[in-house]
A and B are shown apart, each in its own frame.
Chain A
Amino acid sequence: MKFGIVTFPGSNCDYDAYRAVIDGLGEEATFLWHKDHDLHQSDVIVLPGGFSYGDYLRPGAIARFSPVMQDVVAFARRGGPVIAICNGFQIACEAGLLPGALLRNASLKFVCEVVQLRVETTDTMFTNRYEHGSVLRIPIAHGDGRYTADSETLNRLESEGRVVFRYMGGPGDADEWWSPNGSMRAIAGIINEEGNVLGMMPHPERVIDPLLGSADGLGLFESVLARITV
């Protein structure tokens, strides 16, 4: 299976995603240049983390108009799997692939730490290899991760089982929701209605080997591999 990883000007997690696929998963990966209209026959697209276009205007606001994004949006509309991580999540929201928006952290601080992430549903092509309710250790590194949507959208996400990951274990009770960035309902990751576009602020591609402190992110890539036969 081939993963196509988009490189925008300012992407900085594209190589992490590349190594996660090559070393962690043992599958094929290729970089997709933001100016090309060419997805290299990829089976899965990764929109990686970083600061595309310097986060000018708003994170993701300009990247969504990159030439390659027209092809990524068409790919997603045809049902192609898209993993949108961190800045990728912001771009996917701006592009209308996912509902809501990611605003400046409530603390106004850039947050860079390992968080506990609860798997809220395993009934997706991205989480079928995890156990329901299991808690993963995955790093976050962002200044604009406060997931925001109107209450109607939030209720719909919940009732349709589309909240995929939640932040857990704040300073108080380890079993409580806790937003390190002020995210509404502690939402860390969501999926689109059709189930083929995942957006998440934490970085699974950075934790694919115990040597890196955790291998909890590998399951996400394995889940996609398990679901898709090429």
Chain B
Amino acid sequence: MSRYRIAVRITPRRGILDPQGQTVAEALHTLGFASVRDVHVGRHIVVELDAPDRPNAEQSTREMCERLLANPVTEDFEIAHVEAT
């Protein structure tokens, strides 16, 4: 068994109204960042777990996302980073 630290990125699904993202985009425009086209606000979750190897660690993190961490109706997730600790 090794220990892994896995970062998961969860974002609102494209096409679903993201009022938080819109508000942040407007604030950035107000600050003069006129080049900003779109902003999405999601969640970043870091899970530390023990697994026999890296593929196993990633697979069980994916299951965690499907069952609890992300809402399959409205959110997408991706494994953003994996490191052995």
Residue ranges of A at the interface with B (Cβ–Cβ < 8 Å): 57-58, 61-62, 65, 93-94, 99-101, 103-108, 146, 148-149, 182
Contact = CB atoms under 8 A, between A and B. Distances in A.
A104 B71 contact: no
A103 B16 contact: yes
B68 to A, nearest CB: 6
Contact of B19 (A61, A65, A108, A149): A108
Interface string B7-21: 000000000110110
A58 B73 contact: no
A104 B21 CA distance: 12
B17 A106 contact: yes
Interface in B10-41: 16-17, 19-20, 23
B71 A108 contact: no
Interface of B: 16-17, 19-20, 23, 68-69, 71, 73-74
B19 A107 contact: yes
A149 B23 CA distance: 22
Contacts of A100: 73
A61 B17 contact: no
Contacts of A65: 68
Contacts of A101: 71, 73-74
